[in-house]
Each structure stands twice: as structure tokens, then as C-alpha cells.
Structure 1
């Protein structure tokens, strides 16, 4: 059985901080650059924007400062087709900031989000009809790391209400070591990840957090409770576990420009595929297709293939997909973000 059905239809509500982001040119240096590019960056809003690209109704709940950077964030996320009406504008706290530093081994990220508007979020963010009527609520371990009140928000989202309907909760471990006090992340993230309905974790993350020798199957033993556990193994592929079995789908070969944002893109593609028809292998394929668009650009979000191409890729036989995975997709055209 390849299918897993989700509750009644509704939007996907993504909850978490989005920051203003500064970066020099990809081959530049923070120490010598005379100008920096300003963009926005946030795991949960990345998921929401990719879901909108894939024609899935998406809402982003968060808080930003009542400042120019906050207005920039709201404009960028809203322009992608995401509902931002539930975002709080905090008159006292600033919008969070991150700075990207290109390095030979990848991109280093510096956070300036202590005391930010989003760090003051609490469980009350979950109140209201938008969240209660959601098909899926998507959260990440980043939010749990921001503050005690944010961790309470995530914990409440993962707690079934007495006698009430809880939306399906999707949780991406998304471990960011710089946000955690030493020695605290492993247990907290394990407990949260094991309470979600759908959990995403990278094999490398699991090894860093819970044991260097872990294999993909070992992660399922550590996290037995999610209805769906998706373990991503970088450019090799991803495996989904459910009570009905497991499915592994090979990743598409992609020339990596920057890896930041690829995990968010994968989560969005997988959720979009799951909401479409519940077919787990096809959802894994759409996750890989969407992740490839993020890997191919320096921004967190790249253009998807056009709708016809995506339909063709999802309809391939397993053998045809294996051939494609080895060859890789051609670059998406410059016409913007594809939809399905």
C-alpha cells in the first residue's frame, strides 16, 4: 500500500520566524564587500512559498517587527501567493536578521535574532480558525530553539487537544546548532520529532544529534511514532517509513550552487504530493524535484519545472525515474516558478 490519507482538506499553515538576510556576492567576502544583497530567509516561509508554487493553499503565521525589514519580509512572502494576514507586527521588537558568509566549504550563517519579534511568539499563535481548519500545520526545530515561549508553541501544537480535532502536524528537525545551548538540542528535538504525525530529518542531522553510526533504518527505531517518517540522505535519496512499510526514492543528480533551503523545498514538495493523492513514492519524487530547484540557485527558492514537466516526471515508471536520477534535470527556464 503506497497511500496515506490526511484529514479533511484545508490549507497548510506554516509557523516560524522569517528574517531579513544579507549576503555578499557568491564569490565575495563579508570583510571586503562594499555592498550586500538583501533578501528574506526562513525555513517555514520557504515551505509556504514552495507550497503556493505547487498550487497548495498556504498560510504563514509569525511575527515581524513593525519596521522596514518586517515590511520587506511580509511583502516578499505575500507576493509568492502565501496568506500572511495572520502575521503579527510587533511595535517593540525588531525583525530578525541573518548574514550569509560564503566560504570555501559552503555558506556560513550568522544569526541576529535574540529578542526578535518572532522569538516572543507563544502558544496563542495556534488560536483561531486558520490553524484549527488546517489540513497540516508545519513546524521546525528552529522555532523550538528560539525561546521558551516558542518551544511551548511547538509543544502545544504536538499535543492532541482533549476531545478536539488536531490538524496533522508536520515537523522538520532542521537542527541549527548555533541556536542551541550546548548539550540541549538532542533530547528536545528527539522528543518533538517523535510526537509529530509527519517528521522530516536528514540522516546527517540524525547522526550529529543521536549517534554517528546511525543508518536510515536505525532512525526509524529511534522515532517509531510518526505516521510518516522521512529520512533524507543528501544527494543519494530519501526513505519514507510508515506502518505499512517503507519506500526509497533516489534523488535527482543536481549541480549544487548552494544547499541552503533545499530541505525546506523537499518538505514542501513532499507535503504537496501527499495532499494531492496520498501516494508516498510520488510525494518523495515531488520532494526531490522541488529540492533541486533550491539547490540550483543562491537564493533559498528557485524556479520549478513547468506543470507539464512535473506531471510527466511523476508519471514515470520506477525504471525511468532511475535513469533520470542519474542524468539529472535540465535547468528550469527563466519564466518564474512552475505550478501543478
Structure 2
């Protein structure tokens, strides 16, 4: 299946995102988790982050998951719905809890010394992340509990590798959804490798899942940590099946390999933006949302990459997982800049909030 969308699709949700979300506790002050006296509550989850970001830029998005019949589940569903996401397919589990986690402000490292995920954009600083998700309601997702027709109810189905690591049932569900079949929606997959989740498991299963998808996102650092692959070309060689492969290269930018009719690849690179980073968690999800938004709109690959970088910058400049994206009009204007002007952008906290006096100014050229 082509990684571009058919124009005749109508009356369906733009994107279905399936996966676990958790209540997030972010420290009220810097420091180790052992020293932080209080936390503020938010939401976190790669797939729901993508759904919320897409809804905030005008797309229709649906989130499919399971949460506990508890207050944390109530909070998750209410917050995600408030972002404009359809939550009518979320199941409540009376026997299993909603997952929660605590974190500090930096990157989640890709080493055994830290629990975590990749830092897709911005400067490197290591955070602590502690999950309480074992036996969660979402870990019970299975083909029996999540009918295929639910997952196929959008123009795009977006999944991540996190789900596959939660339980055997979740892996079975992911294997079923990533099996190529006639009539399925465009299948988007963010590898989202988490060292802590895959410890003691075969991370090669992530590679197998990615091979069944149409559009795949993976960080160079993830590819090294999970599969020992170094460099974008090596990743493409290991993943020839997806029609579009997006290799995220940290603060340098991202490269896309897009299969052409002759069987070769068109290769496109777009540099990342200069961003005053507040917290890096959530940037990869925002990048995927920006790229998917451009895909849904039929934009060029270069424009899709730039929309990804802009959405990532919105997440990088806030303390939580979700930033407020720029308006579509403003994003389109920035995406249309020539290479020189794009390269001089510097974005800081408040850059998407153009209506509030006193916010940090955006689009500041370097001196």
C-alpha cells in the first residue's frame, strides 16, 4: 500500500491512535525524585499525545485504550477528550488500575543505567522516570478486547512499539494489526524503544512489527540501542518494507526515505530548529503528529518534516508532555520559509502563544 492517502476516503476519522496512557507526575522543583517534595499532575502516553496534537491542529482523532475504573482513569479520559479527541472507544477495566509514572525534566536515556526512551530533539540531559504500570488496564488489550474494525476506523492507524512490550496479549494484538491485509488504513508505527520495558525481551520483535507498516518513525539512537544499527542508511537497509521511513537524528534533523514507483528511494533531509528546551519528553510524539498532519494534508515530504519539527518545538518548550501547537496558518508560513530563514529560527517558551504580551518571542534570528 502506498504511504500516501487515497483522496476518496470520506466520513471517517482522520487518525486512530491505539495504546496506553498514564497519569504523569512532574516535579514541582528541579532535583532527584528522592528530593522532590511535590508533583503536579498531567497526562502522558505516546499514542494519546499524538491524538491530542492532531486534534489541536484541526484533524479528527480517536484514541483506543483501556483504563481502570478509578479516578486516574477518569482524569485521563476527561483530559484527552478536552483536547478534542474521540474517547468513545476507551474501555474501563473494573479489576486493573490505570498506569501512573513519575519523572524529572530531562531526556529519558537509552542505556541500562536509566529507564527510558529516545530524545528526538533538543539538548541531552538525563532524567529519572519511574513507571507503575505492571498489570495495568491497558496491558490487558488483546485481539478479543479490541476488535480489528475499531482499529481500522480511521484513514490512518497510529501505533507504537511501547504497546508490544506491555504483555503477551498486547504483542499478539500488535502482530495482528501490523499484518498486511487488503483494505487496512495507512499504518503508522513509531518504534519508541523503551529500555526498561524491553529488558529481558527480544527487541527484534520491534523490527518485525515495523516491517509490516507503511510509515515508520525511528530514532538513530533507538536503532543502535535496540538493534545495533548505526546510521540512517543501515536502518533503511534493515527496514526496506515501509513505503516511508523517517529516521530521526536528534538535534541535527530527520531524514525520510520514500519509495518511488521504480522501487528506489527519494531521500529528503530537513534540519531541526534551534530550540530553548524546557523538557524533552513528548517531543518525539509531537514530531510524529506534525509529520502525520502533513501526510493527511497531502504536503510534500519536506513540508511534512518541517511540520514535525515545529510540533516538536512546541513540546520542547513546555514542562509537560503536550505543548500548544502553532496555528495551522502560522505553521504553514514558517514551513514555507527558505532554507536560510528556516536555519535562523530560534524558538523559546511561549513561542506559540502570539496573543499574550510578555511571552518569549519567537522567530528570533541569531545575532
Q: Which residue of 1 aligns with 2:361?
A: none
* Distance of 1:149 and 1:322 partners within structure 2: 49
User: Residue 219 in 1 paired to residue 218 in 2?
Assistant: no
Q: Which residue of 1 aligns with 2:312?
A: 291
Report the Cα offset of residue 281 of structure 1.
1.1
Secondary structure of 2:241's counterpart equals coil
Report the Cα offset of residue 130 of structure 1.
4.3
Change in CA separation of 1:329 and 1:32 when aligned onto 2, cut-off 3 Å: closer
User: Residue 71 in 1 paired to residue 74 in 2?
Assistant: yes
Secondary structure of 1:235's counterpart equals helix
Aligned residues of 1:4 and 1:279 also touching (Cα < 8 A): no
User: Residue 167 in 1 paired to residue 167 in 2?
Assistant: no
* Distance of 2:281 and 2:291 partners within structure 1: 18
Q: Which residue of 2 aligns with 1:230?
A: 246
Counting helix residues as a fraction of each chain, which structure ranks higher? 1
Q: Which residue of 2 aligns with 1:108?
A: 128
Q: Which residue of 2 aligns with 1:208?
A: 225
User: Residue 123 in 1 paired to residue 126 in 2?
Assistant: no
Where structure 2 has 5 or more consecutive residues not aligned to the other structure, the ranges are: 108-124, 261-265, 357-367
Aligned residues of 1:13 and 1:60 also touching (Cα < 8 A): yes
Report the Cα offset of residue 43 of structure 1.
0.4
User: Residue 80 in 1 paired to residue 83 in 2?
Assistant: yes
Secondary structure of 2:136's counterpart equals coil
Deviation larger for 34-43 or 20-29: 20-29
Change in CA separation of 1:69 and 1:4 when aligned onto 2, cut-off 3 Å: closer
Q: CA RMSD in A?
A: 2.0
Report the Cα offset of residue 326 of structure 1.
3.5
Change in CA separation of 1:18 and 1:282 when aligned onto 2, cut-off 3 Å: same
Report the Cα offset of residue 298 of structure 1.
1.1
* Distance of 2:183 and 2:106 partners within structure 1: 47
User: Residue 32 in 1 paired to residue 35 in 2?
Assistant: yes
Match of 2:327 among 306, 309, 312: 306
User: Residue 149 in 1 paired to residue 182 in 2?
Assistant: no
* Distance of 1:34 and 1:27 partners within structure 2: 10
Aligned residues of 1:313 and 1:321 also touching (Cα < 8 A): no
User: Residue 324 in 1 paired to residue 349 in 2?
Assistant: no
Secondary structure of 2:104's counterpart equals strand
Aligned residues of 1:237 and 1:248 also touching (Cα < 8 A): yes
Aligned residues of 2:20 and 2:163 also touching (Cα < 8 A): yes
Q: Which runs of 4+ in 1 moved over 4 A?
A: none
Secondary structure of 1:299's counterpart equals coil
Q: How does 1:5-84 map to 2 (within 5 A)?
A: 5-7=4-6, 8-9=9-10, 10=12, 11-84=14-87
* Distance of 1:170 and 1:125 partners within structure 2: 21
Secondary structure of 1:34's counterpart equals coil
Change in CA separation of 1:269 and 1:147 when aligned onto 2, cut-off 3 Å: same
